[in-house]
Chain A
Amino acid sequence: MVLVLALGDLHVPHRAADLPPKFKSMLVPGKIQHIICTGNLCIKEIHDYLKTICPDLHIARGEFDEDARYPETKILTIGQFKLGLCHGHQVIPWGDLDSLAMLQRQLDVDILVTGHTHQFTAYKHEGGVVINPGSATGAYSSINQDVNPSFVLMDIDGLRVVVYVYELIDGEVKVDKIDFKKTSTSNSAP
């Protein structure tokens, strides 16, 4: 069982002061093995904070990120899964699932984690799964009129991944979960 935290689009301090206190109290150091961040932190303080939760931190560059050195895309392997990470402002139309599917094929990954729309989605298509953890702070978005703070926790176990989405709605944290199974005859094969 490997826990992977996926979150992003915090936009601190441009659009939000901080993570919601209820989220902060849930994100305890030492429980999570990897963090995947879709970008737009935007400042070093947030980077350092995430590092305290888990030292294995992967970040893709968002268009408002202070640190320009984050990569445009990143690929990593966790257990049996290949994960791809990209902020998403590079994929036009923004939020379009078919276009994101194309990126997924291009990166050749089982799970594509992407952001920018501040809207949680977990979508299975022919090529794999696209997950958008939304905005962890519920930051303003020109794309999404009604943003609730959200983040995703993935539990990777063998060929199965359970995606837990945590959403802060009207002051309460609501949890939902989605199961995905990878068939062993998947993409990565000559």
Chain B
Amino acid sequence: MRRLAGVEDEEKWLAEGIAGIQHNAFFMHRALDANNLREVLKYSALMLSELRTSKLSPQKYYDLYMRAFDQLRQLEVFFKDESRHGLPVVDLYELVQHAGNILPRMYLLCTVGSVYMKSKQAPSKDVLKDLVEMCRGVQHPIRGLFLRSYLAQVSRDKLPEIGSEYEGDANTVMDAVEFVLQNFTEMNKLWVRIQHQGPGTVREKQEKERNELRDLVGKNLHVLGQIEGVDLEMYKETVLPRVLEQVVNCKDELAQYYLMECIIQVFPDEYHLQTLETLLAACTQLMPTVDTKIVLTQLMDRLSNYAASSPDVLHEFLQVEAFAKLSNAIGKVIETQIEMPIIGAMTLFVSLLTFTLRVHPDRLDYVDQILGACVVKLSSVPKLEDARAMKQVVALLSAPLEKYNDIVTALTLSNYPRVMDHLDDGTNKVMAMLIIQSIMKNNSCISTADKVEVLFELIKGLIKDLDGTDTEELDEEDFQEEQNSVARLIHMLDNEEPEEMLKIICVVRKHLMTGGTRRLPFTVPPLVFSALRLVRQLDSQGGDITGEEVSATPRKIFQILNQTIEVLSSVPCPELALRLYLQCAEAASDCDLEPAAYEFFTQAFILYEEEIADSKAQVTAIHLIIGTLQRINVFGVENRDTLTHKATGYSARLLKKPDQCRAVYACSHLFWVDDIDGIKDGERALLCLRRALRIANAAQEMANATRGSSGPVTLFVEILNKYIYFYEKGNPHITPSDLQSLIELINTEMQSDDNGNRRTHSDPFFTSTLRYIRFQKQKGGLIGDKYDLIKL
């Protein structure tokens, strides 16, 4: 039973190996000092024999190798100096081949070879060829790899590159390339031979070993990338084909993956562009287990960065038809690797899209094509469940949004909504929010009904309940955030042309109506105000263009508004609806549309009567009604009377007396509008004030009865202020004595109770009111005269 080597064993062997090297190196140095060639060779060979071990893992072997390497450097110095050993280098080259074992023999030969090449007594290409072939004698993977690595190291500065001293008629760049290619090929073969065999733990170990060795192989590619004189031509005709040949033929998954990556990293991007077809073809020939998509993604990312580096390079991309080739290759890979999980395909599409947006931002058809391919792939699975894949799809959809700050561009991509259809509901909403955020961030304006239609299709996950979702599940805050985003979005839809704007409003309305009662309170208000803005625009633009059949008229829009606000009754939210009706009423009045304005008021009153029961809500509502009605001047006498009568009636019937009082005196303003041709019915205004006074008195009596003390005099002071208001405006029915008696009344009320609190509460108000009267008295002129009549 073979025991697997434990770490302790390896440590021991390494220690033994190091000891061996040190031991023999000691004697080698003694021989070097004595210039004793024979002894030098003997002990160096013994030293190098330590490298013949097969017990060490690559990491440990490397340690041993480096120690030998250091010694060999000193040996080389010795070999170079003929005066020390007496042999011409040619003979030395012959002599070292007599070493007993092949590995020490080869190390010595490479060392001498280095000296030989430096001496220029033979063309370096010949020496290199000799060495690279003789290394074949060592077929053990680890030993062979390190040996060839040594060869690569010592030969590096002797390659006949362009501009090097070794260049000549007999030595060309081609020879250098040949040498490196051959070394590379042999090294790869050795490397691949460390196969995954045996039980799990053994295989794991071997894979680890292989990874530790890979840079030895990859180094050759780096060298190829650095050799002076390897131009595009040579790369295309010789270097790449030979390398790819080895990559494909070795049929080793690890090697293929690593080497493809290496090729992409090492060689310049322009070369990749020009050899794109070859590279991509190789990708399709790799072993099925190789993660080609990562390779392709890396390639595309590099090319994307290259494209971004300078605008001048873009034409190269066009020239080689980069997009077509890449997109075909990707298509093929996805097709052949049917087991590829969705995330893999999506990652590829994202890379390709990034590439396209950098290189061909104006080619929306390319972008759409990619999205189309994505749709096809997504359609092949019943349901997309992988969260990471989902994230990639979101990235895919977000990229065009970020690139084209104008959402409108993204809206023209026909496959965009189709991709969104494949997202699960949650992600669909996330994407919809991203779209809205993009619009808000860029302050985009969507200005045609068609585009609005497409947009609302895209964000339908926010607009309505998609099949299978239940809005009850959603967190309340999140839901509100969503709906508020939709609301804000509505204000980004705009067109100066009224006809088109009306179309937009109708499209939006159509979609919002599918939203259900939970959404309407959020989405209806912005729609209403958007429409009111249009009405105002139409009204200010003036009359109809003669003869033309226009559908965008205020009247038509008010009809739509009426139907829209009506829908809120299904929620129900009467307070909101009331406010919206009142807004519409005032707008209709501005357009001189009496019937529409009356209708809106009717609706508002109905809501008040039937739906608004909360007393606080009633108070606010009635003030809104009074405030709006006060401003409206479109009504004829009858209509106006009906409405003001109703308003005053409601005011008097509020629950709490103080509220009644205030609402009633507010109604006084319904009969007096301070415009040039405003109504100025002084009598009815005064009637309201008197009524308010009666209510205030009643309130005071009630307070006496129930609490044993009078309430505050605030109400009286408020009414006094109103009397002053109308007096000053010139209401003929209000006399100075009215004011005086009211002032007396207040004084009385204040003194009638010696509860100190009440005094301080209303004092400032009354005091400042009196102060105002005094101030007006001092004004002089008509005002002064008026106020003079009031005796304080």
Contact = CB atoms under 8 A, between A and B. Distances in A.
Contact of A108 (B529, B721, B768): B768
Interface centre among B532, B579, B627 (most CB of A within 10 A): B627
Contacts of B775: 126
Given A93-B674, A94-B631, A105-B769, A14 B529 contact: yes
Contact of A106 (B487, B522, B714): B714
B30 to A, nearest CB: 79
A105 B669 contact: no
B765 A17 contact: no
B488 A17 contact: yes
A126 B772 contact: yes
B718 A43 contact: no
Contacts of A102: 718, 721-722, 725
A14 B765 contact: no
Nearest to A66: B480
A92 B627 contact: yes
A142 B583 contact: yes
B760 interface: yes
B516 interface: no
Interface string B396-426: 0000000000000000000000000000000
Contacts of A16: 491
Nearest to B764: A108
B525 A14 contact: yes
A12 B532 CA distance: 16
Interface string B759-773: 010011100110110
A178 interface: no
Nearest to A116: B627
Interface string A94-127: 1010110110011010000000000000000011
Contacts of B714: 106
Contact of B765 (A64, A105, A145): A105
Contacts of B48: none
B87 interface: no
A105 to B, nearest CB: 4
A21 B441 CA distance: 10
Given A92-B623, A190-B763, A14 B526 contact: yes
A127 B772 contact: yes
A63 B764 contact: no
Contact of B627 (A93, A145, A187): A93
A90 interface: yes
Interface in B703-747: 714, 717-718, 721-722, 725, 728
A45 interface: yes
Nearest to A125: B772
B624 interface: yes
A18 interface: yes
A127 B768 contact: yes
B764 A188 contact: yes
Q: Name the interface size band of chain B.
A: 35 or more
A108 B532 CA distance: 38
Nearest to A108: B764
B499 to A, nearest CB: 21
B480 to A, nearest CB: 8
A21 B440 CA distance: 11
A92 to B, nearest CB: 5
B764 A99 contact: no
A15 interface: yes
A142 B764 CA distance: 35
Interface string A38-65: 0000011100000000000000000110
Contacts of B532: 140, 142
B639 to A, nearest CB: 19
A72 to B, nearest CB: 9
B768 A89 contact: no
A143 interface: yes
A79 interface: no
Contacts of A29: none
Contacts of B59: none
A43 B210 CA distance: 63
Interface in A129-181: 139-140, 142-143, 145
B484 A45 contact: yes
B354 interface: no
A101 B623 CA distance: 18
B64 to A, nearest CB: 65
A12 B627 contact: no
A142 B584 CA distance: 9
Interface in A11-31: 11-18, 21
B666 interface: yes
B760 A190 contact: yes
Contacts of A63: 579, 620, 624
Given A90-B623, A106-B765, A17 B440 contact: yes
Interface in B512-547: 522, 525-526, 529, 532-533, 536, 540
A43 B481 CA distance: 10
B630 A93 contact: yes
Given A14-B525, A63-B620, A92 B626 contact: yes
B221 interface: no
A99 B725 contact: yes
B470 to A, nearest CB: 24
Nearest to A90: B623
B587 interface: yes
Interface in B431-458: 440, 443
Given A15-B491, A142-B532, A190-B763, 8 more contacts: A15-B526, A63-B624, A93-B627, A94-B631, A108-B765, A126-B776, A139-B529, A142-B586
26 contacts: A11-B529, A13-B491, A16-B491, A17-B492, A45-B484, A89-B623, A92-B627, A93-B627, A93-B630, A93-B631, A94-B631, A102-B718, A102-B722, A105-B768, A106-B765, A126-B772, A139-B529, A140-B529, A142-B583, A142-B586, A142-B587, A142-B631, A145-B536, A188-B764, A190-B760, A190-B763
8 nearest A-B pairs in the assembled complex, by CB-CB distance: A13-B487, A142-B586, A14-B525, A17-B491, A105-B768, A17-B488, A13-B488, A108-B764
